[in-house]
Amino acid sequence: MKRLLYALTLCLLALTGCNHSASDKSQRIKELKKEYNKFIALTFDDGPSTLTPRILDILEQHNATATFFVIGSQVDASTEPTIKRAQEIGCEIGSHSFTHPYMSQLTPEEQTLQSQQTINAIEQYAPTPKYFRPPYMDADDTTHNIVPQIFIGGYCPDDWDANVSAEERIKGLMENATDGLIFILHDFKDNNGTAEALASVIPALQAQGYGLVSVDELFTIKGVTPQKGIIYKKAK
Ligand SMILES: [Zn+2]
């Protein structure tokens, strides 16, 4: 009998553990809805890199979250701590292909490889990705058929371009901010202008009533069930 009780207790503990993160998520969303009345999803492409920890510091400081669309070939033991920390502060990991090619220029077999290798790489350190950002926003029918994730676009202030200053990035983000939108930013190595812009854009938008969240949180908050075959620039 004692043994049975012990086993039952273990089962209960295991069940509680399983529900923990789901209830954490709904609790966070409840709190966000209390604090903010508009929402924008932050996304970062082309990492993880040495810039990513700096981006995570800024997000954590302001209680903001984001989706990181990682390049599969950069997901390895050296970036594992960054990927894990991103999840610890509530961020999610999405796919941005394995080597950042123009997907439509590849054979179906090559596209499958780009997708599957990235999923495998991410699954070492994170849940199976739910979202995909096509490199250069280039995708054909084959890409839509082969890649199992929901496709995500958004507004980009051209922050991949070294000639676009941090001030111009801030201006682009502030002028285009609208409820339900997805922002595309880049956390590749040495893209310091984006970290600089982010540090002032997040508090400025929060002061205007915007919560900054991950793509999955944005869809949940907006009550949208995203479909395949569409590239979402906003949650609607
Ligand atoms: Zn990219």
pLDDT tens digits, 132-166: 999 999 999 999 999 999 999 999 999 999 999 99
Mean pLDDT of 35-54: 98
User: How confident is the model at residue 24, as a pLDDT?
Assistant: 82
Burial 202-229 (b: 16+ CB within 10 A, else e): beebbeeebbbbbbbbbbbbeeeebeee
User: How confident is the model at residue 210, as a pLDDT?
Assistant: 98
Identify whether 139 is part of a domain. Answer: yes
Identify whether 7 is part of a domain. Answer: no
Q: How many Å apart are CA 169 and CA 153, to the nearest integer?
A: 18
Identify whether 12 is part of a domain. Answer: no
Pairing label, strands 182-186, 38-45 = parallel
Tell how far the Cα of 69 is from the centroid of ligand 1, in angstroms.
8
Q: What is the CATH number of the domain that holds 144?
A: 3.20.20.370
Mean pLDDT of 35-43: 98
Tell how far the Cα of 202 is from the centroid of ligand 1, in angstroms.
22
How many domains does the chain fold into? Answer: 1
Question: What Å distances lie between residue 205 and 174, 176, 208, CA to CA?
Answer: 7, 11, 5
Q: How confident is the model at residue 19 (pLDDT cuts 50, 70, 90)?
A: very low
User: How confident is the model at residue 18, as a pLDDT?
Assistant: 46
The one catalytic residue among 96, 100, 159, 186: 186
Tell how far the Cα of 129 is from the centroid of ligand 1, in angstroms.
16
Q: Which residues contact 45 (CB under 8 A, 6 or more apart)?
A: 69, 96, 133, 184, 185, 186, 187, 188
The one catalytic residue among 45, 46, 159, 187: 45
Identify whether 180 is part of a domain. Answer: yes
- 212: enclosing H helix or E strand: strand 210-213
Identify whether 11 is part of a domain. Answer: no
Q: Is 96 a catalytic residue?
A: no
CA 149 centroid distance within chain = 13
Tens digits of residue pLDDT in 99-140: 999 999 999 999 999 999 999 999 999 999 999 999 999 999
158 Rama class: left (phi>0) / alpha (psi -120 to 50) / beta: left
What integer best gives the mean pLDDT of the chain?
93
User: How confident is the model at residue 22, as a pLDDT?
Assistant: 75
Identify whether 9 is part of a domain. Answer: no
Tell how far the Cα of 12 is from the centroid of ligand 1, in angstroms.
44
Tell how far the Cα of 189 is from the centroid of ligand 1, in angstroms.
12
Identify whether 8 is part of a domain. Answer: no
Give yes or no for residue 224 having a pLDDT over 80: yes
Give the residue among 115, 43, 34 at the shortest CA–CA distance from 72: 115
User: How confident is the model at residue 20, as a pLDDT?
Assistant: 53
The pTM of the full predicted model, rounded to 2 decimals, is 0.91
Q: Is 186 a catalytic residue?
A: yes
Identify the domain containing residue 80 by its residue range.
Answer: 24-232
CA 165 centroid distance within chain = 24
Give yes or no for residue 15 having a pLDDT over 50: no
Tens digits of residue pLDDT in 184-222: 999 999 999 999 999 999 999 999 999 999 999 999 999
Identify whether 36 is part of a domain. Answer: yes
Please tell me whether residue 64 adopts helix, strand or coil conformation. coil
User: How confident is the model at residue 23, as a pLDDT?
Assistant: 79
Cβ–Cβ under 8 Å, residues 58 and 198: yes
Tell how far the Cα of 160 is from the centroid of ligand 1, in angstroms.
9
Tell how far the Cα of 45 is from the centroid of ligand 1, in angstroms.
5
